[in-house]
Every structure is written in C-alpha cells, then in structure tokens.
C-alpha cells in the first residue's frame, strides 16, 4: 500500500528540488537548531533565525537595520532559555495562511505553518520567474502569516509585518 505522506528522505529531496542551494543550507541549519533545542519540528522561528543569520537581502528589508537584526537574533537565541519555552512540545499551526486553494501536504519534521511558508515562498519564486526559492521568498512566506512564531518574533522586535508584506509584494496568500 502506498502512503500519501512522503518519507523524511523524500520530503527532504522535494524541498531541495524547490529551493536554491543557499536556502537549502538555511533549512539544514534550521533543522539542526530544532534538533538541538529538542523540538520535534522545524517551525517558522527556526527558519527565521537561519534566514537572518545568512541572508543580507532580508536585512536590507528591515527598517531598523543592524540594530533591529541584532534585536531579532537576540530574541531567537533566547528561545531555548526562556523566550519561546511555551512553544516547546507544541505544534506550530496558526491556521492563518492556509487560505490556499490546495493545502500543501505537510513535510515530516516541519510544522504546518513552516510548510505553508515554504509553499508560499516557492510560489512567490515561480511568479518572479525563478526556478528555485531563495531566502527572501521563504521570508515573505513567514511574514505573510502574522500568526506564526516567526512573525511573533518580528512583532516583538518592533517590525511592522503588514508594511513589510507590502514591500515584499503582497500579503496573505498572494505573497
């Protein structure tokens, strides 16, 4: 009997087929971070952390510049020592973005919100004519879901996600 849920290995290959080498490295970093923190799934905060560490294009979008990036990274680093402890042992699923015509099948080891953010990022990349999504595309997918953990971190650091979504070319399911 064939399962409709992809194995972790095939899901990893499916992700790598949709993203650039640079974004694949960011996803690998997010996966290691999730495992180190004892989280069962990669969530949007893990992804945001990796994007902020590696993607200068995202930095340039943030109005606060380096100080704001520093504040964001500070919140994300504190995740395992206090900030974000309420997230442990829970599945991130804001339910805000899946206003998609077809809900993407979940990726093993990914929260529903992280899966939706990746799907939005891949679709954004396709709309701009790119074969593979970049960090900025995944970032747009995270920003589009103002209820996800990554957006919560952005809000806490004073980022206006609505204005950021507009600069990224839309909001909601149209990112």
pTM of the predicted model, to two decimals?
0.79
Query: Could you give the angle at the alpha carbon of 89 between the alpha carbons of 83 and 90, nearest 5°?
Result: 85
Summarised one tens digit per residue, pLDDT across range 89-126 is 555 555 554 434 343 455 668 999 999 999 999 999 99
User: Is 60 exceeded by the pLDDT of residue 8?
Assistant: no
Give the pLDDT confidence score for residue 106 in this predicted structure. 57
User: Is 50 exceeded by the pLDDT of residue 42?
Assistant: yes
Give the pLDDT confidence score for residue 3 in this predicted structure. 35
Give the pLDDT confidence score for residue 93 in this predicted structure. 59
Task: Return the sign of the alpha-carbon dihedral for residues 82, 92, 156, 56.
Answer: positive
Q: How far is CA 94 from the centre of its chain?
A: 13
Per-residue tokens: 164: 């950021």
Return all residues near 48 (Cβ < 8 A) that are at least 6 apart: 72, 76, 139, 142, 150, 153, 154
Q: Are 66 and 52 in contact (CB under 8 A)?
A: no
Query: Does residue 140 or residue 169 have the better pLDDT?
Result: 140
Q: How confident is the model at residue 87 (pLDDT cuts 50, 70, 90)?
A: low
Summarised one tens digit per residue, pLDDT across range 13-24 is 567 689 999 999
Give the pLDDT confidence score for residue 92 in this predicted structure. 59
Q: Report percent pLDDT > 90 for the chain.
A: 49
Q: How far is CA 51 from the centre of its chain?
A: 8
Rg (CA), the chain: 15
* Distance (Å, whole) CA 13 – CA 66: 34
Q: How far is CA 102 from the centre of its chain?
A: 19
């Amino acid at each position: 009997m064939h399962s409709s849920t992809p194995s972790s290995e095939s899901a990893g290959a499916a992700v790598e087929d949709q993203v650039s080498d640079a974004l694949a490295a960011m996803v690998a970093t997010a996966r290691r971070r999730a495992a180190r923190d004892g989280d069962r799934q990669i969530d949007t905060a893990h992804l945001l952390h990796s994007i902020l560490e590696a993607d200068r294009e995202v930095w340039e979008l943030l109005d606060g510049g380096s100080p704001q990036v520093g504040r964001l990274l500070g919140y994300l680093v504190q995740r395992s020592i206090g900030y974000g402890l309420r997230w442990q042992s829970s599945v991130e699923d804001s339910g805000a973005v899946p206003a998609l015509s077809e809900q993407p099948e979940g990726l093993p080891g990914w929260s529903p919100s992280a899966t939706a953010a990746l799907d939005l990022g891949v679709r954004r990349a396709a709309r701009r004519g790119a074969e593979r999504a970049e960090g900025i595309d995944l970032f747009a997918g995270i920003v589009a879901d103002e209820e996800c953990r990554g957006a919560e971190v952005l809000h806490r650091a004073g980022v206006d996600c609505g204005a950021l979504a507009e600069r990224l070319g839309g909001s909601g399911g149209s990112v």
